């Protein structure tokens, strides 16, 4: 499919099945049926892991192929398999509590908590396909206990229901998800974020406004964004090129295009520290969980 940069796409959203768990390996998704069961909590342990290890794991397996500004890195480890030095087993899952670009992402939902210290975003959650069904509930619950010990009272999590394909290969990059794992953890659903227009690259990933600004202002991280575009076919930027002009040319060269996004699903998960905490108020009304389809 060829789409002009000026055109806007309409992309399909996931028809969710509550009986499926999403898994990843090398950024390729798969499904596990919750009816399979088989998760043995005695086989696994959850522990704080250094950012280098979690970053490598997330970049290798998560569909976004990016890593957020991390506040806390937690790993899921299989005790029955050998792992890297210093790890209690094979690294089979990663969870990252992160710092969003704007404090309002947190304060708009949790206004009485100090952003970045008492509240954070659950920025990444990924489990390998070898982890049995229902493993994510175990992982998230124990990760939230660790976060509580560090002073975190609550975190905001988002799920993206929009399905995206790699236009170069035709493969599915993101099948979409409505946050079934957060529902299983009894998170509070606060509805969808505001609709927005996003910029889609031909590999099926999104280039957000913050990344665009990094290039225009040549801020830290701009080089990584430029390499990403060059890898997709944009001409390299010469040292004398105006960054804004180069960015416009690069986006046209790779045939980036816009699509209208109806908004992310937003959840709030609380840690054990929230019990009796005066600031654990959620400012947005609780809503019914997104409608689930019985479709596979």
Nearest-angstrom CA–CA distance, 237 and 222: 11
Choice between 38 and 125, residue whose per-residue pLDDT is larger: 125
Nearest-angstrom CA–CA distance, 125 and 93: 8
Over residues 203-256, the pLDDT tens digits come to 988 898 889 999 999 998 899 999 999 999 999 999 899 999 999 999 999 999
Per-residue pLDDT at 294:
37
Q: Are 82 and 90 in contact (CB under 8 A)?
A: yes
pTM: 0.81
Angle (CA) 179-183-186 rounded to 5° is: 145
Element of type H or E holding 228: helix 222-231
Domains and CATH numbers, the chain: 13-194+264-274 (3.40.630.30)
Kindly state the average pLDDT of the residues 126-146: 92
Nearest-angstrom CA–CA distance, 68 and 74: 14
Using the predicted structure, report yes or no on whether residue 2 has a pLDDT greater than 50: no
Nearest-angstrom CA–CA distance, 122 and 19: 23
Q: Are 99 and 149 in contact (CB under 8 A)?
A: no
Nearest-angstrom CA–CA distance, 120 and 100: 8
Of 18, 54, 33, the closest CA to residue 177 belongs to 18
Over residues 67-99, the pLDDT tens digits come to 999 999 999 999 999 999 999 999 999 999 999
Nearest-angstrom CA–CA distance, 120 and 270: 11
Other C-beta atoms within 10 Å of 7: how many?
A: 11
């Amino acid at each position: 499919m060829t789409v002009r940069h000026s055109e806007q796409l309409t992309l399909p959203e996931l028809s969710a099945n509550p009986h499926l768990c999403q898994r990843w390996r090398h950024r390729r998704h798969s499904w596990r049926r919750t009816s399979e069961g088989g998760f043995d909590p005695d086989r696994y342990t959850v522990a704080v892991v250094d950012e280098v290890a979690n970053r490598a794991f997330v970049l290798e397996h998560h569909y976004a192929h990016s890593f957020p500004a991390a506040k806390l890195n937690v790993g899921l480890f299989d005790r029955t398999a050998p792992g890297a030095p210093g790890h209690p087993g094979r690294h089979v899952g990663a969870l990252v509590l992160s710092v969003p670009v704007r404090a309002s992402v947190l304060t708009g939902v949790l206004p009485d908590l100090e952003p970045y210290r008492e509240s954070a975003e659950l920025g990444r959650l990924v489990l390998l396909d070898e982890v049995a069904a229902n493993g994510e509930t175990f992982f998230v619950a124990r990760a939230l206990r660790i976060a509580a010990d560090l002073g975190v009272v609550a975190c905001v999590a988002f799920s993206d229901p929009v399905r995206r394909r790699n236009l170069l290969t035709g493969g599915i990059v993101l099948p979409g998800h409505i946050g079934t794992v957060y529902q299983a953890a009894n998170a509070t659903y606060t509805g969808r974020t505001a609709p927005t227009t996003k910029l889609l690259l031909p590999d099926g990933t999104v280039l957000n406004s913050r990344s665009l600004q990094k290039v225009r202002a040549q801020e830290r991280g701009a080089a990584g964004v430029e390499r990403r575009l060059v890898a997709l076919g944009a001409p390299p930027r010469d040292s004398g090129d105006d960054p804004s002009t180069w960015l416009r040319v690069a986006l046209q060269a790779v045939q980036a295009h816009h699509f209208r996004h109806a908004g992310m699903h937003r959840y709030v998960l609380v840690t054990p520290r929230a019990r009796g905490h005066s600031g654990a108020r959620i400012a947005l009304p609780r809503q019914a969980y997104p409608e689930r389809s019985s479709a596979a």
